[in-house]
Amino acid sequence: ATCPEGTTVISGGAQPANFGVELTSTLRQGNGWLAQAKNNSGAASSLTAFAYCLTGGSSN
């Protein structure tokens, strides 16, 4: 998930589509949020990453 130009990422996370998907990491990367997961469900699944973005400021 990437923040739009002119904003700064301040936090983020991820939501798997179903049970059996284990989040292995979520972290700030550049001006966005990266999420990785392992699918232990035995079925196709998806993972949605999201970023919370601050307008007109800096998180430094």
What's the gap between Cα 1 and its chain centre? Answer: 6
Give residue-wise pLDDT tens across range 35-55: 999 999 999 999 999 999 999
Does residue 60 lie in a domain region?
no
Give residue-wise pLDDT tens across range 2-43: 999 999 999 999 999 999 999 999 999 999 999 999 999 999
pLDDT band (50, 70, 90) for residue 60:
low
Q: How many domains does the chain have?
A: 1
pLDDT band (50, 70, 90) for residue 56:
confident
Percentage of the chain exceeding pLDDT 70: 93
- C-alpha dist (Å) from residue 21 to 33, 34, 35, 40, 44: 18, 16, 12, 6, 10
Please give the model's pTM, rounded to 2 decimal places: 0.79
Does residue 47 lie in a domain region?
yes
Does residue 38 lie in a domain region?
yes
Domain extent for 22: 7-55
